[in-house]
């Protein structure tokens, strides 16, 4: 093990196992390694069932098993490293979430459950569905911790274990046989958890669905995940939900940043704003909307790396590079998206987003800046930032165009938050309603 992998950090520890983040020395890829004590397996042989279940599963919502190794003391299960935030953490930090987002995640959960329940020769029941075990990873959800999952045979499921209080179905506490409807109960409870952050007028659309999924008696629940899934789609079809309504999409606030010319500091300011929002306890991601090597260069910096889902991590900064027009635009789960358009002004002006224009105010730049501002001066949700110039110059420009203009302080490192930058961004939050 030690020859092949380098331990990066600990991810968790239980009574019989430890989980570590490791890096494959040759591939330079991150993995999660679960270390199981052989002595514990004598009393709990089901701990290795997770490996038996996962090794044959191929689904984007289920971690991949790469290998199993052992020594005298431990079994080592090498899995896909799933990096992201749990559904529990995401939902709890929101004041509210959109019904679109709730249904979007519910449908993905249903898809994973449907895949498990339709396995041959024996269906698989997960048995411990809860928000902590659902990871939001870029555009997808990933279900982790299959530790008490089991096959359903003609004699019932292989093992009977309690799940988590509040999410485990009544039959588990009664010692009765479980089946796929036990997982449907868990799906209903997870939907109810998300629905607790919905507006009252939106909750009513999901309430009947939740009540049916979580019925006390198994025979009163949905008979299969496909039926629950159909009801979710039915809500959309009848117009209760609108996935294409940009105003409600993930309750995501989109702030577009563009420059009047090259080298006015557009990317610098966009990155700095992203870092501030994250430090201000706002879940925020940077998105590149133009061809640039900026994000990929971070991989070469100490501590910078690209996740399996394509997101680039550098310290506490999260960024999505530009992958070209052939790739569907990423749908982040974060509260805020700071979108760097570079100088692609035509594209950004056609979008109905909060807009930040970074202006060039040097003598040779002013004519182009003036021409642009005359076109957009009446636009709502517009912020003008004067970079490389004093606050006095910013005030002069503000008087000229009769629009509020902010002065960005002289700054060398966009990832480091100075007192001057923090003061400016706090003012933006107050005055612009971000």
Total residues found in the chain within this entry: 434
Closest CA to 77 of 122, 132, 144, 126: 144
DSSP letters along 215-272, please? -SSGGGS-SSHHHHHHHHHHHHHTTS--TT-TTTGGG-EEEEEEESSTTSSHHHHHHH
Report the pLDDT value the prediction gives residue 226, as an integer from 0 to 100.
Answer: 94
DSSP letters along 282-305, please? --EEEEE-S--SHHHHGGGSTT-E
Report the pLDDT value the prediction gives residue 28, as an integer from 0 to 100.
Answer: 86
d(CA 12, CA 87): 18
Beta bridge partners of 125: 150
- Its CATH class, for the domain covering 252-432, is alpha beta
Helices 225-237 & 200-213, crossing angle to 10 degrees? 160
Query: Domain extents for the chain?
Result: 5-80, 85-237, 252-432
Superfamily per CATH, domain 5-80:
Phosphorylase Kinase; domain 1 (3.30.200.20)
CA atoms within 13 A on the CB side of 417: 15
- Counting as low any pLDDT under 70, the low residues of the chain are 1-2, 14-16, 41-50, 138-139, 147-163, 235-252, 281, 308-309, 324-334, 350, 361, 366, 375-379, 388-391, 393-394, 397, 400-401
Helices 99-117 & 200-213, crossing angle to 10 degrees? 20
CATH code of domain 85-237: 1.10.510.10
pTM given for the model:
0.55
Q: Is the omega angle on the peptide bond into residue 121 within 30 degrees of 0, that is, cis?
A: yes
Sheet containing 156-157: order of strands: 124-125, 150-153, 156-157
Beta bridge partners of 195: none
Beta bridge partners of 6: 23
Report the pLDDT value the prediction gives residue 154, as an integer from 0 to 100.
Answer: 46
- Joined tokens for residue 255: 């702030």
The reply to whether 5-80 and 85-237 are identical in fold is no
Give the H or E element holding residue 309.
Answer: none
Q: Is the dihedral of CA 282, 286, 287, 290 positive or negative?
A: positive
Report the pLDDT value the prediction gives residue 49, as an integer from 0 to 100.
Answer: 67
The answer to whether 319 and 311 are in contact (CB under 8 A) is: yes
């Amino acid at each position: 093990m030690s020859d092949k992998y380098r331990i990066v950090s600990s991810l968790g520890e239980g009574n019989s196992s430890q989980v570590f983040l490791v890096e494959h020395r040759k591939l330079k890829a991150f993995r999660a390694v679960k270390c199981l004590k052989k002595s514990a397996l004598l009393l709990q042989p089901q701990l290795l069932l997770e490996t038996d279940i996962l090794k044959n599963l191929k689904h984007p919502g289920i971690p991949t098993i790469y290998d199993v190794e052992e020594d005298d003391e431990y079994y080592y299960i090498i899995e896909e490293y799933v990096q992201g935030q749990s559904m529990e953490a995401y939902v709890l930090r929101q004041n509210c979430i959109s019904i679109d987002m709730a249904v979007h995640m519910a449908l993905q959960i249903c898809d994973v459950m449907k895949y498990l329940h339709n396995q041959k020769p024996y269906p698989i029941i997960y048995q411990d569905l809860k928000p902590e075990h659902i990871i939001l990873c870029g555009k997808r959800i990933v279900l982790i911790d299959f530790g008490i999952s089991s096959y359903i045979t003609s004699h019932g499921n292989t093992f009977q274990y309690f799940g988590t209080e509040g999410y485990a179905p009544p039959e588990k506490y009664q010692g009765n046989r479980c089946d796929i409807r036990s997982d449907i109960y868990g799906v209903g409870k997870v939907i109810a958890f998300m629905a607790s952050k919905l507006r009252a007028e939106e909750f009513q659309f999901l309430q009947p669905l939740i009540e049916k999924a979580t019925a006390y008696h198994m025979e009163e629940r949905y008979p299969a995940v496909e039926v629950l899934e159909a009801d979710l789609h039915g809500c959309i079809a009848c117009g209760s939900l609108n996935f294409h309504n940009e105003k409600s999409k993930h309750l995501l606030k989109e702030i577009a940043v563009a420059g009047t010319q090259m080298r006015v500091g557009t990317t610098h300011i966009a990155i700095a704003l992203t870092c501030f929002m994250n430090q201000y306890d706002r879940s925020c991601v940077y998105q590149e909307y133009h061809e640039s090597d900026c994000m990929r260069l971070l991989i070469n910096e100490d501590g910078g790396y690209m996740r399996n889902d394509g997101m680039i991590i550098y310290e506490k900064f999260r960024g999505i590079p530009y992958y070209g027009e052939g790739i569907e635009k990423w749908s982040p789960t974060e509260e805020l998206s700071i979108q760097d358009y570079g100088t692609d002004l035509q594209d950004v002006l056609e979008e109905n987003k909060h807009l930040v224009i970074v202006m060039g105010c040097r003598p040779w730049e002013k004519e182009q800046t003036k021409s642009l501002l005359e076109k957009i001066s009446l636009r709502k949700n517009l912020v003008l930032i004067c970079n490389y110039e004093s606050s006095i110059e910013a005030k002069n420009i503000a008087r000229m165009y009769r629009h509020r203009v902010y002065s960005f302080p002289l700054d060398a490192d966009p990832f480091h938050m100075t007192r001057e930058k923090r003061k400016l961004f706090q003012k933006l939050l107050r005055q612009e309603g971000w």
